[in-house]
Each structure stands twice: as structure tokens, then as C-alpha cells.
Amino acid sequence: MLVEQPLVLSLPRLVSGQLGGRPLADALKWRGETDETVFRLVDRITGEEVGLEYRSEGFFFLHTINAYEESGHVVLDISCYDVPNMLHLMDIKQLQVKGNSSGCSSIIDSYKSIHTA
């Protein structure tokens, strides 16, 4: 399963940030308020897209927890955030601040979609 989140790289911001010594996270644009998160199924053997896609409201994630087949469905367990603010907390300057409280909390969620044989 491939998960496309509504987070895009802005080339002008990337160039400007690199010239200005800013972190890569500054070059990312969040479109979760308007764009959806898209889930695409890929055949494990052929590598081809199965053709089914599932959409949800936009969310940010760093990694998936688990994905498996169950009763003819593909189930994806994923740690979701409403917005990608936590990316800025991984900047070395932020990590060096004592007592830095992120205020970011994730929700563990499962998404289930129809699987075709």
C-alpha cells in the first residue's frame, strides 16, 4: 500500500532555504486543509497498481505501523497527525532546547479497503 499525503515540496522555497541556511522542512507546503490523503494498492508480486484507491481527509504521517490482509480487505495501521508541525521540532536547534514540549500528538488509526484477488 502506498500512502500519498498532501505535503508537497516547493522548489522556490527549497532554493531560498538552502541559500539562507534554513531547514528542509521550511520548503514543504501543507495542503491538508484542501487536499485528501490517497491510499493506493500495489500487487506485491507484479509491483503494478491494483487500480483501487481509497481517499480520506488530509493527514500527515511519518511512517506506517503495519499493513496486512484480513477477510478480503487490506488493513493499514498508521500514526496520523492533523498537521506536519512536528517536522520543525526535528531541527537541531529545536532539539537542543531544554524542556521543549511539542504539543503534537498522533492518533493511531486503521484504514480498511476492499482487496481484489
- Along the chain (117 residues), what's the average pLDDT of each consecutive run of 10 residues? 93 90 87 92 90 90 88 87 80 66 61 52
**H or E element: which one contains 38?**
strand 36-42
Position 75: which residue type? V
Distance CA 63, CA 69 (A): 19
CA torsion sign, 99 to 79 to 9 to 55?
negative
**What is the reported pLDDT for 37?**
94
Cell 521550511 -> residue: 26
C-alpha cell read off for 111? 484504514
Share of the chain above pLDDT 70, in %: 78
Q: What are the residue ranges spanned by the domains of the chain?
A: 2-114
- Whether the full predicted model's pTM is greater than 0.75, yes or no, is no
